[in-house]
Structure 1
Amino acid sequence: MSIPDKLKVLWFLPTHGDGRFLGSAEGGRKVDLGYLKQVAVAADGLGYYGVLLPTGRSCEDSWVVASALATYTEHLRFLVAVRPGLLSPSLAARMTATLDRISGGRLLINVVTGGDPVENAGDGIFLAHDERYEVTREFLDIYKRELAGEAVTTAGRHLRVEDGKLILLPHQRPHPPLYFGGSSPAGIAVAADTVDVYLTWGEPPGLVAEKVETVRAAAAKAGREVRFGIRLHVIVRDTVEEAWAAANGMISRLDDRTIQAAQAALSRQDSVGQSRMRALHGGDRTKLEISPNLWAGVGLVRGGAGTALVGDAATVAERMDEYRRVGIGTFIMSGYPHLEEAYSFGERVLPLLPLDHEAPPASADEGGLVGEMIANTTLPTRAASAS
């Protein structure tokens, strides 16, 4: 089993909303370009590898937002969704090549098949679960070949292209890295054959290990290797007790009716990954610590990633290392509110992790002012005695 030595750590841009309390407008925050710019610039300065932008009709469009924010950042990468079945592969390839070029090679691609039949119908997609993955496979074949500079003529069951090609190629060759999540057999088969990084939502480490081994074996059978990533929320504080208090505070405005309504809406999805998320807590707010320091409270009312690591910095770093030891090399983190929590995690935990991308200075000794000057005369140090 291949265990990553170094980690890529990304943050999240909350284009579907942000606030201090789940399921409540109290403490809610207006999410506009100005706020998203604050989060992106903070993530860039703190040393995150990139940011994930969500996709769907509940979100601002990820391509438009990423295009706007790329000009405000220097190193930050943008993990943006392509949606097979919503875009033609040739148009998606042109969009990809353009954004990758104008950002200087800072584009990452999240391939999203979509698991909500109601939303899919609203978008004009009326395909069964496995048929959507058939479309995804055909889409990726055309999309990757065009990004690599090929002229493509092909006719599949769902997609047909004649002399599809790019004139202006992407900055990254043969194409930006492809990320993908799908827990069903159909999804895993597509991942094994086509993508670079397989993503899972934050299940307990034992379940993640099983999924990693399943995908790795399928990829090996196809003569390929796939890297692995995980999507998690995080609540990190100076002490474990403070972190758990913050977690409980996040759901303190939730009532049972809101939870039941949210779970009913999520149950309509035919996503296997979403079903696995719901099964972790069963809608029961008394059974939320599903593994040491892994809390499923977010999933009471949020679709997609529904678990958070909860603890002090050392505890969170150790829990992340548990996932690293089962093969996870990419972590996509988030927290409420996303601006403050980008700093909380970035300042407390990032310095403890073996990153394979540039991290911020760990102390004032490395140059510049980090922290407040002491008595107008002395640079602060990384740690000081409390006595």
Structure 2
Amino acid sequence: MNPIPKAPAIRSENPAVEVSWFCDLCNGDYEYLGVPDGSLRSSFEHCSDIIRLADELGYQNILLPSSYQTGQDTLTFAAAASQFTKQISLLTAIRCGEIHPPMLARTLSTLDHMLKGRLNINIISSDLPGTQRDSKTRYEISKEVIQILQQGWTRDQIKFQGKHYQFDLPSDPVKSYQQNGGPLLYFGGISPDARTLCAEFCDVFLMWPETEERLADTMKDLSVRAASFGRTIDFGLRIHLIVRDTEKEARDAAKQLLSKIDIERANDIKHRALDSNSAGVLRQDDLRKSADPDLFIEPMVWSGIGLARSGCGSAIVGTPEQVYEKIQRYIQMGIRAFIFSGYPLIEESKLFAKSVLPKLQTINFAEAQNRKPNGIPVTPLTTGERK
């Protein structure tokens, strides 16, 4: 293998990592890619089973995605899940501009209190369903929404004068349960505007699978951008898993996943997603062109999933030992958060939790960064003076 790329400046020097799973709220769980199975539809029951199991298995966090597809509304589902989960944090996707920002802040405050600090936020800047804005405008809106949220969580008054939003409002209705800045913000986007937005305002930059060299280049660029704002950030990787007892079994499972694929139908399914033409997806599609005949872009990273799925398009494929070693390489590169998934989601979460997860030194970012309080914080929704 090639030498491990050098880690850039990061916020969390502790090598412990936050390990997350993925909950299929958006019609994307399969046994065979591109072949819909009614038993794996994104019903409330199926999505609840996924998140309950991840909670029981010890994952620290779970991504609740957002998309205009058959499935579950992100915030509605998160509110319900707050009542039947115990320790897992909910990484809740928010599409900026979808909800009036002060009311979004109020919704997130309610949810953060319901979860008693187990809320993380995935900031999304893609188009709203049925609309199309230029990239510059989308990131302007996202930047303003983030600033409004952060003012509400950390100041006595929301006083904001931007290009798209102007507000002068008291912040009591939106105070978060979490302290020292409110819920952590996770963000992914490969364009220059996206990178600058994350560097200035967010806490974790999420990447999709690429070669180690390309990931390292992205991380170095983001680290330099963050430093220009006097900040450091952490880095996360969203990637699928195929873990089996032997390498042959793992590779066979990858082939089986594609064994019933109809490329035309798979392409249609892929382009239902709102991000299917984003710079990040197109970049992964381009990278797959340089893969070997078995679709590996580098040892143990298989790009076949991107044939039938938008977003994250590759998986770590191998034995428990190989998968663990690959994760350790990523950790040495400076990656401190992982959002894993596999097909089907329930079965693969069990395999990874049994064979690899116990070997990893794990951490909860919100606790480590003093966002999640040890006791009940004083807020307008807890013990603060009622005005």
**TM class by shorter-chain length?**
0.7 to 0.9
Q: Larger C-alpha radius of gyration, 1 or 2? A: 1
CA deviations over 1:220-257 (Å, ceiling 9, x no partner): 01100111101000000111111111011001011333
Return the letter of the residue paired with 1:233: H
Find the counterpart in structure 1 of residue 330 from structure 2. 323
* Secondary structure, counterpart of 1:78 in structure 2: strand
Distance in 1, matches of 2:132 and 2:160, equals: 23
The answer as to 2:217 corresponding to 1:210 is yes
Find the counterpart in structure 1 of residue 235 from structure 2. 228
Find the counterpart in structure 1 of residue 61 from structure 2. 50
1:62-81 equivalence runs, <5 A: 62-81=74-93
Q: 1:176 to 1:264 in 2, by over 3 A?
A: closer
Distance in 2, matches of 1:323 and 1:4, equals: 14
Find the counterpart in structure 1 of residue 157 from structure 2. 151
Unaligned residue ranges in structure 2 (runs of 5+): 1-7, 366-387
Find the counterpart in structure 1 of residue 313 from structure 2. 306
Distance in 1, matches of 2:62 and 2:362, equals: 15
Distance in 1, matches of 2:78 and 2:268, equals: 32
CA deviations over 1:7-47 (Å, ceiling 9, x no partner): 11000101123220000125852332222222112111111
**Is the CA contact (8 Å cut-off) linking 2:152 and 2:174 kept in structure 1?**
no
CA deviations over 1:58-100 (Å, ceiling 9, x no partner): 1421111111112111101100012211112211111111111
Aligned to 1:5, which of 6, 15, 18? Answer: 15
1:68-107 equivalence runs, <5 A: 68-107=80-119
Moved more, 56-65 or 262-271: 262-271
Distance in 2, matches of 1:290 and 1:28, equals: 32
Distance in 2, matches of 1:350 and 1:121, equals: 37
What TM-score does the superposition give when structure 1 sets the normalisation length? Answer: 0.85
Distance in 2, matches of 1:143 and 1:176, equals: 10
Distance in 2, matches of 1:308 and 1:152, equals: 43
Moved more, 182-191 or 167-176: 167-176
Deviation of 1:269 after TM superposition, in Å, equals: 4.9
CA deviations over 1:267-295 (Å, ceiling 9, x no partner): 99552111111112249894510110001
Distance in 2, matches of 1:213 and 1:182, equals: 15
Distance in 1, matches of 2:262 and 2:95, equals: 34
**Is the CA contact (8 Å cut-off) linking 2:176 and 2:182 kept in structure 1?**
yes
CA deviations over 1:112-159 (Å, ceiling 9, x no partner): 001xx5xx351xx44201110011111111111112243122221111
Aligned to 2:26, which of 16, 29, 32? Answer: 16
Aligned to 2:287, which of 255, 274, 280? Answer: 280
Give the RMSD, CA atoms, in angstroms: 2.2
Percent identity reads 32
Distance in 2, matches of 1:177 and 1:260, equals: 34
Find the counterpart in structure 2 of residue 336 from structure 1. 343
Q: 1:333 to 1:151 in 2, by over 3 A?
A: same
The answer as to 2:176 corresponding to 1:170 is yes
**Which structure has more RCO (C-alpha within 8 Å, separation ≥ 6)?**
2
Aligned to 1:141, which of 147, 157, 160? Answer: 147
* Secondary structure, counterpart of 2:297 in structure 1: strand
**Is the CA contact (8 Å cut-off) linking 2:78 and 2:92 kept in structure 1?**
yes
Q: 1:4 to 1:258 in 2, by over 3 A?
A: farther
Aligned to 2:363, which of 334, 356, 371? Answer: 356
**Is the CA contact (8 Å cut-off) linking 2:25 and 2:42 kept in structure 1?**
yes
Distance in 2, matches of 1:97 and 1:227, equals: 24
**Is the CA contact (8 Å cut-off) linking 1:90 and 1:164 kept in structure 2?**
no
Return the letter of the residue paired with 1:36: C
Aligned length: 352
1:117-136 equivalence runs, <5 A: 120=128, 122=130, 125-136=131-142
Q: 1:51 to 1:266 in 2, by over 3 A?
A: closer
**Is the CA contact (8 Å cut-off) linking 2:275 and 2:310 kept in structure 1?**
no
Aligned to 1:194, which of 187, 201, 213? Answer: 201
**Is the CA contact (8 Å cut-off) linking 1:178 and 1:195 kept in structure 2?**
yes
Distance in 2, matches of 1:248 and 1:355, equals: 31
Distance in 1, matches of 2:346 and 2:315, equals: 17
Return the letter of the residue paired with 1:139: V
Unaligned residue ranges in structure 1 (runs of 5+): 359-387
Q: 1:246 to 1:313 in 2, by over 3 A?
A: same
Distance in 2, matches of 1:69 and 1:54, equals: 14
Return the letter of the residue paired with 1:6: A
